[in-house]
Amino acid sequence: MMKYFDTHAHYHDSRFEDDVHEVLSALPDKGVLRCVCPGVDVATSEQEIALAEKYHFLYAAAGIHPHEAGEADEASFEQIEELLRHPKVVAVGEIGLDYHYDFSPRDVQQQVLRRQLEIARKHNLPVIIHDREAHEDCFNIVSEYPDVLGVFHCYSGSWEHAKRILNLGWYISFTGTITFKNARRVLETVRNMPADRIMVETDAPYMTPVPHRGKRNDSSYVSFICDKVAELRGITPEEAAELTLQNGNRFFGLE
C-alpha cells in the first residue's frame, strides 16, 4: 500500500464534530502515514494538539489565521508560543493574508503575520502560509524573514510567482484544486516544480478533489491529489507519494 503525507487538514472544523474519531481512526488503513493539522486561532490550535496527542500519525501547527487576526492580542501570541513547546507541534500556522474576504483590516493582518514570523524564527519552526489575493504583500513580508522556512499552502498561482517563492528556499503545497476541470495556470506550476519542494495536502474539510468534489474532504483523498501530481509530472503514483512524503518529512523535521 502506498503511504501518503497530508500536510494540511483541519479536524477541529465543525464538519467533523460528529465523527472525527471515526474518520481519524480509519486513516492509517487508507495509507495516510502522516498528517499535519493547523489551527486558526488559540482555541482551535489547542483542539488540533489534543487530537495529535490521541493519534500517533497526527501532528499539529499553532497559529492565528488572517480571518481571526482582528481578535489577536499580546495574550494570544503568548498562548501560541506556549503551544509551540508541545512535542507534536511542528509548525506555526496557519498564518498569512486574505484580501478576498478581508475579515480583518489589512494592516492588522500584516502586523499579525509579521509577529508570528518573528515567533517562528525565535522557536526555529517552519511556517504555513495562507495567501489569498494578497500575493505581493505576502511575498514581501515573508521575504523580510530570510531565516524562516515556509510553505505556501493551497497554491493556485502562476509559475512566475512560484519561482520567486522557490528562490527563497521555500516549499509549495497543492490541494484538490489541481484536479478541478477549470484548473489551468496552476498545472504548469505543478509540472515545473523542483522535485524536492513539492508537497500535497487535502485542506480538509475543504477543497475536495475530483471525483469526490462537493462532498466533505478528509485526508484519505490525498491519493487523488498525488495521482494528479504523478500524471502531470510523468511519474508513477508511487513515486509521487514517496516524493511528497519525503518532502513533508524534511520540511516539518520528521524522520
Q: Report the residue number, 41 or 94, with the smaller CB distance to Ni ion.
A: 94
Say how many C-beta atoms besides its own lie within 10 A of residue 81's C-beta: 15
With contacts defined by CB under 5 A, name the span among 88-96, 108-116, 166-174, 238-246 that binds Ni ion. Answer: 88-96
Q: Determine the interface stretch with Ni ion among 91-99, 133-141, 168-176, 194-202 (rule: CB under 5 A).
A: 91-99
* Residue nearer to Ni ion on the CB measure, 163 or 215: 215
Number of residues that bind Ni ion (CB under 5 A): 1
CB proximity list for 79: less than 8 A, separation 6 or greater:
42
Rounded (5°) CA angle 16-17-19: 70
CA distance 150 to 43: 23
Q: Compare residues 129 and 241 and give the one whose CB is closer to Ni ion.
A: 129
Question: Closest CB to Ni ion among 94 and 218?
Answer: 94
Which of 219/230 has CB closer to Ni ion? Answer: 219
Beta bridge partners of residue 89, listed in sequence order: 60
- Applying the rule CB under 5 A, the residues between 27 and 46 that interact with Ni ion are none
Give the separation between CA 34 and CA 47, rounded to whole angstroms.
18
**C-beta of 180: minimal distance to Ni ion in Å?**
17
Write down the least CB distance from residue 217 to Ni ion, Å: 11
- How far apart CA 136 and CA 128 sit, in angstroms, is 17
What is the per-residue binding string for Ni ion in 152-191, x denoting contact by CB under 5 A? ----------------------------------------
The closest alpha carbon to 36, from 58, 20, 14, 3, belongs to 58
Binding window for Ni ion (CB under 5 A); candidates: 76-84, 93-101, 111-119, 161-169: 93-101
Three-state DSSP class for 102?
Answer: coil
Least distance to Ni ion, CB of residue 58, Å: 15
Dist. CA 52–CA 12, nearest whole Å: 11
Segment near Ni ion (CB under 5 A); pick from 28-36, 89-97, 107-115, 233-241: 89-97
Cell of 112: 499579525
Nearer to Ni ion, 131 or 230 (CB): 131
Q: For residue 104, which amino acid is it?
A: S
Could you tell me the smallest distance in angstroms from the CB atom of residue 10 to Ni ion?
6
69 neighbors 95 (Cβ within 8 angstroms): no
Q: Of the two residues 94 and 131, which places its CB atom closer to Ni ion in the complex? A: 94
In contact, 201 and 179? CB cutoff 8 Å: no
Residues at the site binding Ni ion, with contacts judged by CB under 5 A: 94
